[in-house]
Amino acid sequence: MILTLDVGNSNIFIGLYNDGQLVNNWRIATDKNKTSDEYGVILMNLFAAAGYGLADVESIIISSVVPSVMRSLKEMTGNYFEADLLTVGPGIKTGINIRTDNPKEVGSDRIVNAVAAKAKYPPPLIIVDFGTATTICAVSAEGSYLGGAIAPGIEISTEALFNKADKLPKIEVNKPLKAIGKNTEDSLKSGIYFGFIGQVEGLIARFKEELGENTMVIGTGGFVKEIGYEIEEIDVIDEYLTLDGLYHIGKINGYTGDDND
């Protein structure tokens, strides 16, 4: 079995593959204070609840944007698994040409998404990842990673608003009945929810001006279910895009037991 871990600022998205198929997935909170043993116990319990053992894992593929957590996870994999470890970073094969000013500074999560999207869908492509940050990435018709845009995610945006504006109440963000709010709470819901959608729609429109109107748009990330289905410009919701990208990178680097592409 192949274990994939996508380490984001808010969550660690975990996938377990068997014979190329995603058979289980979990999300746990990213915690910079957790030790390698704490992460090991969490995985041990998740595996046990699903009827697996840590010894079932042959290879582990990790992508991380949180260096301090990555150190704990590397130590954890060495202590709790007898498996080969591949970390996504400069120097590994991705199968995609990165055409940015400085390819080494592009977040590994963005590259992983682009690798999966290119493998699963016909380019050109726009990938919208709804996470702590909202990232929008472009893949050219030739299959090259071109770059993209990074904006605050819906959760971090609302936290900043509530922290800086003392008189505004903290609310749960969900779809309001109307755009014109009749009270402070409904006005906040409208501004946050519809405003966020408008931001993403505007960026998609600008990307399409540069890539072409026939560009497929893919939505993914931890918050995609909350808001992605409300954006008509998104053609496909793919919740497991990042995990599939990690598996694909593992495959082309010889970590999955499959024939390499």
The strand pairing partners of 148, in sequence order, are: 137
Buried b (16+ CB within 10 A) or exposed e, 199-224: bbeebbeebbeebeeebbbbbbbbbb
Long-range pairs for 96-104 at CB < 8 Å and ≥24 separation?
Answer: 96/139, 96/143, 96/144, 96/145, 97/142, 97/143, 97/144, 97/145, 98/144, 98/145, 99/140, 99/144, 99/145, 99/146, 99/147, 100/145, 100/146, 100/147
Find where tokens 């026939």 sit: 214
So what's the pLDDT on residue 260? 54
What three-state secondary structure class fits 21?
strand
**Which class in CATH covers the domain with range 103-242?**
alpha beta
> 217 and 229 in contact (C-beta within 8 Å)?
no
**Residue 4 and residue 27: Cα distance in Å, rounded?**
12
φ and ψ at 232, to 5 degrees?
-65, -25
Query: Which residues of the chain fall short of a pLDDT of 70?
Result: 259-261
Structural domain boundaries in the chain: 2-87, 103-242
pLDDT (0 to 100) of residue 259: 59
pLDDT in tens, 98-128: 999 999 899 899 999 999 999 999 999 999 9
Would you give the distance in Å from CA 136 to the centre of its chain? 11
CB 86 within 8 A of CB 250: yes
Token output for 127: 């990938």
Distance CA 54, CA 56 (A): 5
Strand positions, DSSP E, the chain: 2-7, 11-18, 21-29, 59-64, 84-87, 125-130, 133-139, 145-152, 216-220, 236-237
pLDDT at 17: 97
Q: Report how far apart the first and last C-alpha atoms of the chain are (Å, whole number).
A: 19
In the prediction, which pLDDT does 218 show? Answer: 98
In whole angstroms, give the CA distance from residue 117 to residue 130.
15
Question: What's the rounded Cα separation, in Å, for the pair 95 and 123?
Answer: 14
C-alpha pair distances (Å), 206 with each of 13, 127, 209, 212, 258: 30, 13, 5, 10, 39
Residues designated as active site:
109
* Whole-prediction pTM: 0.91
Question: Looking at the domain that runs over 2-87, which CATH code has it been given?
Answer: 3.30.420.40
Helix, strand or coil for residue 138? strand
Please tell me if the domain spanning 2-87 has the same topology as the one spanning 103-242: yes
